[in-house]
Amino acid sequence: MQHLLDLTLEEFRDACVANDRRPYVAEQVLDWIHRKGTTEFDAMTNVSKSDREWLKAAFVIFRSRIDRAQVAGDGTLKILLGWDPPEEHSEDHSLPQAGQSPPLQQTETVMIPAAKRRTACVSSQVGCPVGCRFCASGLGGLEGNLTAGQIVEQVLRLSEEEGVGRITNVVFMGMGEPLANDKAVMKAIRILNADWGPAIGARHITVSTVGLPKAIRRFARFDLPVTLALSLHAPNDQLRRLLIPWAEYSTIDELTSACQAWFLASGREITLEYLLLREVNDRTEHARQLAKIASTLRARINLIRYNEVKGLPYQRPSTVDVREFQRILRRHGVNATIRASRGRDIAAACGQLRHEARKQQTES
């Protein structure tokens, strides 16, 4: 069965025509899914019975099951999605095939509410190949790429949860390195942005990368005006290599130059993400070095206070140290904001919920 959410309107129309169905069935079905919030073919009353029977035999709308859901005191919602094995979806070859499959395919998705915004933080891969030393997502390495449909499904799953409603913003800051799966990520962005789909404005979509210079240059040619965020996390190559194994493959200078190419091609400034780890990258000299990079790029900086992960040695810095770091950046003329910590009372750090679920399965 084919994953319906993996198709663009055009591809869906083609599938209808190829099966002797009228092409407008595609519009009808997508209207039910994205405007009326229905994911049951049988509830699509303006679709003929014969078309519904065909749809049920040929397509699946949701591929995932919700393995866990947690709501924090501040309204942040985190869901752990379990994915059916790929052999049941013959069109999908991106996840490991039968025989080499891992015990359980799970990904995390988070919804962060703020005033009228509902931001979905989505995963682009199962696990992560980068293996940042401070992150729970990279602990088990990469298990597979997500398809465009699996990325879109995360957004729909969130909006189906009680009290969430329409998702207004999407950030690719969950599990995985989006530019290591850029084909699926770009297709997912097209679907999420389409007026026949969830219609999320491209300017409300942010792709966050740990930095692959070639992929950044390629992504600069993408025709939708999304925002690019570079997860820098260290202001010099030596420290960056200690924290991010993939920093071995490219220097900060190479990344800076790729980001400048992005700016020239897209006309959009980038954001630098900087995760503050206590006594690791939060010292005065780090702030000064970071200010220099931000000035070169004319980038704004998003400072993020670390959420501790059980079993990892890194600590959350104090409020005083974070404010001082921000003050130094601002003194150097850099626009630096501190991201509000959300969902601290649930396993908020990226990959932590999945990591804990997996540990429990192994122990039981």
- Which residues here bind ligand SF4, judged by CB under 6 A? 128, 130-132, 135, 137-138, 175-177, 210, 350
Rounded least distance, CB 355 to ligand SF4, Å = 11
Rounded least distance, CB 265 to ligand SF4, Å = 23
- Closest to ligand SF4 by CB, 177 vs 282, is 177
- Closest to ligand SF4 by CB, 60 vs 290, is 290
Rounded least distance, CB 239 to ligand SF4, Å = 15
Cβ proximity of 290 and 283 under 8 Å: no
- Establish whether 350 is a catalytic residue: yes
Rounded least distance, CB 315 to ligand SF4, Å = 17
- Closest to ligand SF4 by CB, 198 vs 213, is 213
Region of residue 303 (left: phi > 0; alpha: psi -120 to 50; beta: else):
beta
- Closest to ligand SF4 by CB, 6 vs 108, is 108
Rounded least distance, CB 159 to ligand SF4, Å = 23
- Closest to ligand SF4 by CB, 41 vs 246, is 246
Rounded least distance, CB 306 to ligand SF4, Å = 11
- The active-site residue out of 16, 108, 128, 259 is 108
- The active-site residue out of 11, 16, 350, 363 is 350
Beta bridge partners of 276: 305
Nearest Cα residue to 18 out of 43, 56, 63, 54? 54
- Closest to ligand SF4 by CB, 113 vs 245, is 245
Catalytically active residues, by annotation: 108, 350
